Amino acid sequence: MVTAANTPSVIPRDAHCISRANISENSLKVLYRLKDAGYQAYLVGGGVRDLLLGREPKDFDIATDALPDQVRGLFRNCRLIGRRFRLAHVHFGRDIVEVATFRASITDAEPHHDAILEDGRIIRDNVYGSIEDDAIRRDFTINAMYYDIRDFSVVDYTSGLQDLQAGVIRIIGDPEVRFREDPVRMLRAVRFAAKLGFIIDPDAETALHNFSHLLADISAARIFDETLKLFHSGCGHKCFELLRHYGLFAYLFPAAEEALAHQQDNFPLTFIAHALRNTDDRINSDKSVTPAFLYAALLWEPLRERAAELGEEGHSEVLALQMAGREIISRQVKHTAIPKRFSVPMREIWTMQPRFKYRRGKRPMRLLQHPRFRAAYDFMCLRSRSDDSLKEDCDWWTQLQEVEQPEKLVVPAKRSRPRRRKPGRKPQHKST
């Protein structure tokens, strides 16, 4: 089990690959200003990890011994945010550099000695600490290294560099305790393993298998954010496989897991896999993606099954899809909150699917002009990859978008035949 060493390893500048050229200019400004004012200032977390791996960091976080108010005193463009954990945000136009004061984990410190209660609510429970305290409250050893702006060395209290070189995701402390403290760490372990191609340390793996149910206690809003980080990481398919392997997926998408459990001919597994790989490809080539599409794909099979039941009860195809869509979404939001801006297009993508069958009359041109056409069409093409009977529809709609005069492809509407008069009935004259 990893605990902090009192004396950290210090990797000097010439023994690691982090260069200031790869650190954002604004982060460097903040680090230098803190240092010049006599404070300790370090780059920490994912930024250091990614730089050591030669990858481009998503963001740069800074840790310091200056208190939030002291940080604010140094920068004109600084705002303090967060009620429970006060963080300083230094603004440079649209770029924000986050500065956090070294914190200790609450369980290690005197119980809540800095907690202030207001009407029973915790409004501040910062427990400030030393850099060593700050290191051991972090999740994984590879996320707990500090780049010191004073001498450009890397300070490592938890043998993070060793794990980075060996490709291991290792929890700091006892995995069970750390997962109980914050079950989202289980999802983070999977995300980093997928993203970096690392293995998860066996102790943590055992804890993942045993404590996946703890995810049920996390707020649906936080889980939604984490699912997007997993599935929009550019390695969403790998994340999906690992989530299922560790039994975590069932706590995120129970309806989808159930459909996967009784799948036939590899459906919906291949369909979900295609959707995730498609999203990965788009992200890795800098194309836009929307959670609505992915969520629509993950829940498509449960939706179809429910719609089929409703169809058997006598509802029309479209109505059955609409009713099933509402039900499936209201069940899913108990696990992952889905903001309306995503659930509305999800339902549109679903209910537009039967409309791709119609190639006659005004219907195709009307569908083509629908604001959600593109997403619904992409979805239908995705379906066609695991359902041969849709291939022809997919080709026809692709062609319709490519030809100069799409109206010419559309089959004219059937003429409605003049009604036959019933024998013996007189023709009725309109009274005008």
What is the smallest separation between the CB atom of 333 and ligand ATP, expressed in angstroms?
23
133 binds ligand ATP (CB under 6 A): no
What is the smallest separation between the CB atom of 50 and ligand ATP, expressed in angstroms?
6
In the set 50, 139, 156, 201, the catalytic residue is 139
Buried b (16+ CB within 10 A) or exposed e, 279-293: bbeebeeeeebbbbb
Residues 6+ apart with CB under 8 A from 348: 372, 375, 376
Q: Helix 269-284 vs helix 254-261: angle between axes, to the nearest 10 degrees? A: 130
Partners of residue 267 on adjacent β-strands? 264
Whether 61 is catalytic is yes
Q: Which is nearer to ligand ATP, 144 or 255 (CB)?
A: 144
The H or E element containing residue 145 is strand 145-148
Q: Which does 138 bind (CB under 5 to 8 A by kind): Mg ion, ligand ATP, none?
A: ligand ATP
Residue from 27, 143, 212, 353 in contact with ligand ATP (CB under 6 A) = 143
Q: Which is nearer to ligand ATP, 182 or 281 (CB)?
A: 182
Q: Which two tokens stand for residue 90?
A: 């230094």
**Distance, CA of 344 to CA of 20 (rounded, Å):** 45
Q: Please count the residues of this chain forming the interface with ligand ATP, following the rule CB under 6 A.
A: 12
Q: Which does 349 bind (CB under 5 to 8 A by kind): Mg ion, ligand ATP, none?
A: none
**Distance, CA of 252 to CA of 213 (rounded, Å):** 10
Whether 286 is catalytic is no
138 binds ligand ATP (CB under 6 A): yes
59 binds Mg ion (CB under 5 A): yes
Q: Which is nearer to ligand ATP, 45 or 129 (CB)?
A: 45
**Distance, CA of 79 to CA of 108 (rounded, Å):** 29
61 binds ligand ATP (CB under 6 A): yes
Q: Which does 143 bind (CB under 5 to 8 A by kind): Mg ion, ligand ATP, none?
A: ligand ATP
Q: Which two tokens stand for residue 391?
A: 């291939």
Cis amide bond preceding 268, omega within 30: yes
Q: Is 175 exposed, middle or buried (0-12, 13-18, 19+ CB in 10 A)?
A: buried
Question: Within positions 18 to 47, which residues make up the interface with Mg ion, using CB under 5 A?
Answer: 46
Q: Which is nearer to ligand ATP, 141 or 384 (CB)?
A: 141
Q: Which does 372 bind (CB under 5 to 8 A by kind): Mg ion, ligand ATP, none?
A: none
114 binds ligand ATP (CB under 6 A): no
Q: What would the 3-class secondary structure string for 199-241 be?
A: EECHHHHHHHHHHHHHHHHCCHHHHHHHHHHHHCCCCHHHHHH
Q: Which is nearer to Mg ion, 57 or 364 (CB)?
A: 57
**Residue whose C-alpha is closest to residue 221's, from 299, 335, 298:** 335
46 binds ligand ATP (CB under 6 A): yes
Residues 6+ apart with CB under 8 A from 172: 2, 3, 4, 135, 136, 137, 138, 139, 140, 141, 144, 158, 178
Under a CB-based contact definition with an 8 Å cutoff, are residues 130 and 123 in contact?
A: no
Q: 272's torsion region: left (phi>0), alpha (psi -120 to 50) or beta?
A: alpha
| Window of 30-38, 109-117, 147-155, 178-186 that interacts with ligand ATP by CB under 6 A | 178-186
Whether 59 is catalytic is yes
**Residue whose C-alpha is closest to residue 1's, from 214, 209, 204, 212:** 204
247 binds Mg ion (CB under 5 A): no
Residue from 8, 45, 175, 236 in contact with ligand ATP (CB under 6 A) = 45
What is the smallest separation between the CB atom of 23 and ligand ATP, expressed in angstroms?
14
Residues 6+ apart with CB under 8 A from 356: 367, 376, 377, 380, 393, 397
Under a CB-based contact definition with an 8 Å cutoff, are residues 71 and 88 in contact?
A: yes
Q: Which is nearer to ligand ATP, 45 or 175 (CB)?
A: 45
What is the smallest separation between the CB atom of 158 and ligand ATP, expressed in angstroms?
10
173 binds ligand ATP (CB under 6 A): no
98 binds Mg ion (CB under 5 A): no
Q: Please count the residues of this chain forming the interface with Mg ion, following the rule CB under 5 A.
A: 2
Question: Within positions 394 to 423, which residues make up the interface with ligand ATP, using CB under 6 A?
Answer: none
Q: Among all residues, which ones are annotated catalytic?
A: 59, 61, 139
Residues that bind ligand ATP (CB under 6 A): 45-46, 58-59, 61, 138-139, 143-144, 182, 184-185
- Site for Mg ion, rule CB under 5 A: 46, 59
